[in-house]
C-alpha cells in the first residue's frame, strides 16, 4: 500500500481514546504503549511492559472482573500472533465489554523489525471471526472511519 494511503496509527488511536470516558485501556508491548502514551497518559491506562503476548488475556481478565466497565486492549500484530489462542478464549467467554484493537505494521518492532506472518497474508480479523467473534473489521486507510467507538465496541482490527 502506498505510504500516503496508510492509516496514521497515532491519529486513529487519538480519535478512539478521545471518546474513551471511563474505559480501562491495556496496551501491549512496544508501539501500542508508545502510541497510547503519546496521546496522553491516563490513570486508567495499564501499560503492559515485559509480557509480550499477554495483553489480550490481561484485558479479558479485567473485562470479566469489571463487567460494568468497558475494556480496550491496544496491541500489535506481533504480540497478537504470539497469543492467538487468547482469541478463542475471548470468543468462548464472550465478554461484551471487551474490545481488541490490533495495530498491524507487519513487523516485530521491539526485536529488530523482522516481518510478521501478517506480511505474508495471515488475516487476524479472519482468525477472530473463525474463533467466534461476532464482528471483526480490518481498517487500512484514513478514509475508512469504522474505527470510532461505536464500531470498536466488539471489533478486532
Tell me the CA end-to-end span of the chain in Å, nearest whole number: 17
SS3 label, residue 94: coil
Dihedral angle computed from the Cα positions of residues 40, 37, 120 and 129, in that order, rounded to the nearest 10 degrees: -70
The closest of 96, 33, 99, 53 to 72, measured between CA atoms, is 99
Is residue 55 within 8 Å of residue 28, measured between CB atoms?
yes
Percentage of residues of the chain with pLDDT beyond 90 = 37
Q: C-alpha dihedral over 63, 72, 117, 79, to 10 degrees?
A: -70
- 73-124 confidence digits (pLDDT tens): 999 888 888 888 999 999 999 999 999 988 877 666 677 667 877 877 888 8
In which band, very low, low, confident or very high, does the pLDDT at 151 lie, cut at 50, 70 and 90? very low
Domain spans of the chain, in order of start: 3-152
Residue 143 reports pLDDT greater than 70: no
Nearest to 146 by CA among 107, 116, 101: 101
pLDDT value at 157 more than 80: no
Q: Which fold has domain 3-152?
A: Rossmann fold (3.40.50)
Asked whether the whole model's pTM tops 0.75, one would answer yes
Q: CA–CA separation, 103 vs 77, rounded Å?
A: 6
Rg (CA), the chain: 14
The grid cell for 147 is 474505527
Amino acid at each position: 500500500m502506498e505510504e500516503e494511503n496508510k492509516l496514521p496509527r497515532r491519529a486513529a488511536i487519538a480519535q478512539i481514546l478521545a471518546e474513551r470516558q471511563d474505559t480501562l485501556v491495556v496496551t501491549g508491548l512496544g508501539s501500542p504503549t508508545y502510541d497510547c502514551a503519546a496521546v496522553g497518559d491516563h490513570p486508567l491506562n495499564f501499560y503492559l511492559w515485559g509480557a509480550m503476548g499477554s495483553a489480550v488475556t490481561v484485558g479479558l481478565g479485567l473485562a470479566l472482573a469489571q463487567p460494568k466497565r468497558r475494556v480496550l486492549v491496544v496491541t500489535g500484530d506481533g504480540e497478537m500472533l504470539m497469543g492467538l489462542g487468547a482469541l478463542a478464549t475471548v470468543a468462548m467467554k464472550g465478554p461484551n465489554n471487551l474490545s481488541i484493537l490490533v495495530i498491524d505494521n507487519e513487523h516485530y518492532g521491539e526485536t529488530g523489525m523482522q516481518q510478521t506472518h501478517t506480511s505474508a497474508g495471515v488475516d487476524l480479523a479472519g482468525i477472530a471471526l473463525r474463533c467466534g467473534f461476532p464482528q471483526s473489521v480490518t481498517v487500512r486507510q484514513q478514509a475508512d472511519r469504522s474505527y470510532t467507538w461505536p464500531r470498536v465496541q466488539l471489533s478486532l482490527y
